[in-house]
Structure formats: structure tokens, C-alpha cells
Chain A
Amino acid sequence: MNEVRLLLRKDLLILKNNILLIFRNPARLIPYAVMIGYFVFMYTRGITGNKISADELTTEAAGEVDFALQNVIGGVTLLALAFLIFQLYRATKNNVTFFKMADVNLLFTAPVKPENLLIYYMARSILPALGGSLFFLAYSGGQMAKDFELGVLGIVFLVLGFALFFFMVFPLRFLIYTLHTKFGIIQYIRGGIIGLGVLLVSMILIPGLMAEEFWQGMFSWIASPWFDLVPVVGWSRGMMGYFVNQNLILSSGFLFLYGLTYFTVVKLVIRYAGYYYEDVLESTKSNEEKLEKALGKREVTEDTYSLNAKKQLALPEFGVGAKAFYWRNYVHSSRQDFHPLIGVYTLGMALLGIIFAGLSNFDWFSHKVVYIYLCFMIAFYFLAGIGRASIGDLKKPWFILVPASWTSKFWNMIKLDLLQTVIFSLLLIVPSVFLAQIHVGLIVVFPLGMIFAYLVGLAVNLIPQVGLDEGWDRILIKPLMIGGIFVFGLIPSFILGMIVFAVTDQFIYGLLTMVVGLGLVASILVHVTLDILKRLEFKEI
């Protein structure tokens, strides 16, 4: 197959150029060297530690159910299932692509067979999944090596289980879209996927309600060994379980099932995809734009994530100078949702919290759910800060040219977000405090926690974007930076908060401790951000 040779050669050239590029600027390797040093340190530490035996890792050791372990296994399985269902649902909206726009321009019009291109790229898509799982193993393996006896096969099955799970998602999504374009059966597929979601929720609700306590029973089905037979998620879990059960036949069986499924999916895709170039055109273009945004080459456009893009507006001016940025965000937000300050989704999230608060008055519903929900919201706003899309504004010429101080530009850029966060926090916490009869201090502490979490997330996104020149450094160093902030800032705050909570038995004091820690981290990072912004001006000149 000429196509395979051609593409293989191209990819090898790209690999060579990538390596040359890395070595052209050796200073870029310093953070990676620190990372490798960390892994080596963790592994060497792991060799001498006490290992956990396989017997200790069963959910029903000595006839007693280990609810903590059951909930950990169940929680991770649930996350994987939710991810899979979400990915399959996304396939009913838009296609997945394995291609770049350069492939579209240079390869799709060349005299090559479309099916050979698809086979090559589909097979090649295991590399990022494999790379990601190796990275995951390197990250987590250090810790695991300390506690478990992994062995070579254990590592192989861990990597394969992780990689194959992510790998299978793309061919499955491609198949769904292919069936949609070929037979127009998207409504049925969508219905099936929604049904799958409902089934999943039932598999948690039914055993949960049947158990003495909901939290004790909710994962009893999906954490049980028979769930390993469930395609993709279960197979991966079963395969990764080798380091616990050391059952080579079982893990190999799951691997075989994966192979068989992949073969079938590829056969079906090739059979029904036909001349698929148009099907991948839009998603390839959109992926390219996303990558350019991630690499800082392109700004996020006005219509990204908009729900209400065609809304006609006649907003008055808010003032001159940097206030124009606040006005611009206000307009953007008005088109993103149905009100610029509070939207449908945020109202829904606040309502959910209030319902939890109301239910906590009943004996069968714990106050803990409300507290967990509040903590979840803080974590969610941290992630929202990381994912803050309009960071591209900083690269637009008018952001630099508008005659105002950097502090005022930065303030006006985030003002609306902060306002929205405060309004949402108050909408959630004020009724919740009175309904659930929890500490009144939460009305102050919770919104502060939300603001600090958002600012930390925002700074984590912004500092590498502005501070690092190389796009790939930004992508790779960002997780490292997040890790650093977690290890040295957030986790200590969290642990301290937990200790205070354990000592006082009062959620408010635990949260207050955590929020103070978060506030310290946020103030340091905002200081760094403001400093970095000055560099933006210098660089642009």
C-alpha cells in the first residue's frame, strides 16, 4: 500500500523535525527534566516501601464490604461511563476527525484511496491514547509503585486498559456519524444513547435505594466484578485489574475482545464511510481552529459557545477606556445566555443546591450532600477559570492599544465573571443556609471561596499563555503548573481544612481554612499575572 508508506514517511519526518525543534532550545527541557526527576524519585521511593497485597484490594475482604474501596472503584467506573456516553452523544452532533487541514488540502485531492488514508489514521490514533496512558502511568505510577507490586505485565495491562479505552472512543464516534450520513438514523442512535444514560443512572439509583444507606449501595452494581463484562469501560477495568488478581487469561480475554471489536468497527466504518471527505471537513477545520487557539495563534471568536448568538442588542455605553472591555464582555454574555448576569444553566445549578438544602431537613437526606455540593461548585469554578475562553482577548491588538492601565484592563476583563460568580454564589447559598439551617457564616465564606477558586483557575490558564513562547510548552507545562499549585497550594489548604473540620466538627471552619489558603494562592497568582501582563506589552512592542 503506497498510501501507508507515504503517510509513515511523512509522520517520521514530522517526528524528526519535532525532536530537532525541542533540542534547538535546550532551556525548554528544564521543566521536563524536573518532571522526570520527580518520577524517578517517586519510583525509587516506591521500591523500598511496604506493598499492599492483592487480598487487601477486594471489596468484600473477610465477608465485610469495604464501602470506601467500593465507592472509589464505582466512582472511577462511573466517570469513565459518563465520559463514554458523553462522547457517543457528541458523535450524534458532530463528527470526529483524524485529519489535519493540511491533509485535506494536500492529501484528499491527491490520487490516493480514501479508505487507506482512513485505516492508517485510525490505527495511528492509538498513539496519542498510548502516549497519554504512559504519561498517566508515569504520573500515578510513582505513587502506585510505592504501594503495589506492579510487575511488567501489570504495567502493560494498565497502559493498554487506559489507552484502549480512549482509543476506542474515536472509531466508535466515527462509526456513529458514518451510520448517520449513510442511513439517516441519528434519531434512533441518539435515543439509544440517552437510553444508555438512563440505564446507567438506574444502575446507581436502584441499588442505592435498596441499600440501608444510599451511599453504601449506590456503586454496589457498577463496582462488582460482573460489571467487567460491560463493553469498553468494563473490559478496560477488567484488563487493568491484572495487577490485583494476576489473572493472565482474564486480562488477555478482555484484550482479545477489544481487538475483535476494533476489527469489527473498522470493517463497518470502511464499508459504510464511502467517500467520507465532506463528513470530516467541518470537524477538521474546527479542530484546527481549536488547536490554533490552544497554541495561541488564534483568538476565540465571538460566537464560540454562544447559545443566543442572533440576539439583537441596544446596550448603552458603560464608560470610556478599559470599561469598553467590560461592555464587550457584557454584550458577549448577553448573547451567550438569556441574561448577561445570570443564565439558565447557573439558575439550574443554584436550584439544585437549594433542593439539596431543602431535602437535608429530612432524616433520610444528609447535610453532607449540601456540603459536598458546595465544595463541588468551588472545584467547578476552578475548572471554569482554567477553561476561560476569552483569554485570547489579550492577544488582540486593541487590548494592547486601548489607553488604560494594565490593572484596569485586567479588572474590566474579569469584572463580569466575578459579578456573575458572586450573584450565583449568593443565589445558591442564601436560601440554602436558611433552608438547611446551616452556619450563617457560609454566606460570606462560600462566595469568597468561589471567587478565589475562579481566580486561581484563571491565572493557571493565563500565566502559561502569556509567559511561554512555545505553544507546545504551554500545553505540556500547564498540567505541570496545575500539579504544582495543587501540591504546594490547594492540597495543603484542603488538608488543613479537613483537619480543622475533624477537630471542630464544623463545616464552616473547615471551609474557612480552605478559603483562606485559596485566597493566599489566588493573591500570589494574580500578582504574577499582573506582572506577566506587562511582559505582554513589552513583547508586542
Chain B
Amino acid sequence: MLTVTNLSKTYGKQAAVDDISFHLDGGEVVGLLGPNGAGKSTTMKCIVGLLRKTTGEITIGGYDHLSVEAKKFFSYIPETPYVYDLLTIWEHMQFIAQAYGVRDWQPRAKELLELYELDDKEKKLGRDLSKGMRQKVSICCALLPDPQLLFFDEPMIGLDPKAIKNTKLLFKKLKEEGKTILVSTHLIDSVESIADRIMIMKDGKIIGNDTVENLKIQAASGDGLSLEDLFLELTKDE
């Protein structure tokens, strides 16, 4: 579904992403972990086309990631949920439905707004929403086109406990539906229970890429380390 080959992104001499390669199969849920400044968001932004890659190749569903065809495959939930100040929540749904060419979108939109408890606020303008609510709108917008591949960039930031629980449940449901998900986060427990695989990034490089089970085995063999301990061990400064 997603193939990243030798991806690099540099700013001057600074390499934000340093020659990384990975592949996501259809139906796989992968957590992209790493400390602040590891290059997780930059990697994700390069994949979705918000940042220009310096070198490398990225394909989504067999298409170049910048093509319109590739963009029909995925949705992106950004770290900072900006919405249109003067569009209502419902109009955001309408806008996304048009942009992605979704037909009969209303029942799906209602279902999503109910799930995120926005159904009684559908006439609220974007400017009147709190950050958490904007994040919920952002997730609803991403889910409306029913994409095959989802990119979540720090999705839990700003959400209330109920919305976090709903998002975790949603990840499970999407996984059961065979969707591919790449979740970038620095909160290990938010992906531990649902991720098939975890990639750990540090200084722009992938320093660990394995299934959760294998990483746990690795952690257990190392003097009773937890996954969190292993993560901290891998990402600590030399």
C-alpha cells in the first residue's frame, strides 16, 4: 500500500529525515514512535506531499505519492487541526465530500459526528470550536471519504479521554475493515495495543522496526525492560 525508499529531507546541511526506507502492507497498523524532533512529522508530511522530499521515492497504491490517483487512497489528520473559521462543521463535511467525490455522504457524516459527539454542534462555525473539537472535526473529515490508507500525526493531542478512547476503538474498527494506518506519536501506550508493528525514529533515522511482540520479547530479555524502557533505551542520547 505504501512504499518509502531512501527518503531524505534536508534543510541546508541539517537532515530532518535521513535516508529511510519502509513498507506498509494493506491492512497493517504501524506506529511511528520517536522523541520530539526525531523526524516523524516531517516523514509524514513528505509522504502526504506537504513537504518536498530531497531524495527518495514514495508510492501509494502503486502510484507516485503526489499524483491525484495516489491522493484518492489516503487521508491525513494533521498535528495542528486548522479548520475554516467561517464554515460550519456540517459544511466542512460537505466540502470534503465534494473534494473527494463522495456520493451519498450524509448518513456517513452523521454517523461520524455522532461518534465524536459533534452531532449537536454541526451548525457551529469553525472559529467557535475548541482545539479538541477542531481535532475531532479533522478526524471526521479524514474518515468521510473512507480511504484505504490513513495518516494520523499525533492524533491524541488535545482530545478528551472519551475521544481518545473512541479514537483507539476507531483504530481497531478500521483495522478490522482492512484499512492501513500509520500513526505518528510519542505516546507509546496510544498505539501499543493496536499496532501490528512499531517503527522507532531518532535523528531522522529508523532505529527500530519490528512487531510489537518482537519488541516486547526484546524488551523482556533485557533485564525486565518494558516497551517504554526499550523505547527510552533506544532513543537516549549517546
Q: Which residues of A contact B (CB under 8 A)?
A: 2, 5-6, 9-10, 13-14, 17-18, 21, 100-102, 104-113, 275, 277-278, 281, 288
Contact = CB atoms under 8 A, between A and B. Distances in A.
A278 B125 contact: no
Contacts of B101: 2, 111
B165 interface: no
12 contacts: A13-B86, A14-B86, A17-B86, A102-B82, A102-B84, A105-B80, A106-B95, A106-B99, A109-B48, A109-B49, A110-B71, A110-B99
Contacts of A275: 49, 52, 66
Nearest to B99: A110
Given A102-B82, A104-B50, A275-B49, A111 B99 contact: yes
B82 A288 contact: yes
A10 B95 contact: yes
Contact of B68 (A10, A111, A278): A111
Contacts of A10: 84, 87, 95
A243 to B, nearest CB: 37
A34 B126 CA distance: 31
Contact of A17 (B49, B83, B87, B98): B87
B50 A277 contact: yes
B99 A102 contact: no
B164 interface: no
A5 B66 CA distance: 22
Interface string B79-123: 011111111100110111011110000000000000000000000
A105 B99 contact: no
Given A101-B80, A102-B83, A108 B49 contact: yes
A113 B126 CA distance: 25
A14 B68 contact: no
Taking each of A2, A9, A17, A18, which has the highest tally of chain B beta carbons within 10 Å of its own beta carbon? A17
A288 B88 CA distance: 19
Contact of A111 (B51, B72, B91): B72
A14 to B, nearest CB: 4
Interface string B136-153: 001001000000000000
Interface string B206-231: 00000000000000000000000000
B91 A13 contact: yes
B184 interface: no
A109 B86 contact: no
Contacts of B78: 104-105
Nearest to A277: B50
A108 B86 CA distance: 19
B171 interface: no
Nearest to A291: B85
A277 B45 CA distance: 11
A97 to B, nearest CB: 13
A105 B88 CA distance: 16
Contacts of A288: 82
A277 B51 CA distance: 7
Contacts of B88: 17
A79 to B, nearest CB: 33
Given A104-B50, A277-B50, A281-B51, A9 B81 contact: no
A113 B84 contact: no
Contacts of B82: 100-102, 104-105, 288
Contacts of B98: 2, 5-6, 9
B8 interface: no
Contacts of B86: 13-14, 17-18, 21
A106 B68 contact: no
B102 to A, nearest CB: 11
A101 B100 CA distance: 19
B75 interface: yes
B43 to A, nearest CB: 14
A14 B78 CA distance: 23
B72 A109 contact: no
Nearest to B77: A105
B87 A13 contact: yes
Contacts of B84: 10, 14, 100, 102, 106
Which 4 pairs between the two chains have the least Cβ-Cβ distance? A101-B82, A111-B71, A110-B99, A14-B86
Given A277-B50, A278-B51, A109 B83 contact: no
Given A13-B95, A14-B86, A105-B76, 12 more contacts: A2-B98, A9-B95, A17-B87, A106-B96, A109-B49, A110-B96, A111-B71, A111-B99, A111-B101, A275-B49, A277-B52, A281-B51
Taking each of A18, A106, A112, A277, which has the highest tally of chain B beta carbons within 10 Å of its own beta carbon? A106
A112 B83 CA distance: 18
Contacts of B99: 6, 106-107, 110-112
B121 to A, nearest CB: 15
A285 to B, nearest CB: 9
Contacts of A6: 95, 98-99
Contacts of A2: 98, 101
A10 B99 CA distance: 11
Contacts of A13: 86-87, 91, 94-95
Contacts of A21: 86, 125
Nearest to B52: A278
A101 B69 CA distance: 23
Contacts of B83: 102, 105-106
A106 B101 CA distance: 14
A2 B83 CA distance: 21
Interface in B45-77: 48-52, 66, 68-69, 71-72, 74-76
A288 B85 CA distance: 11
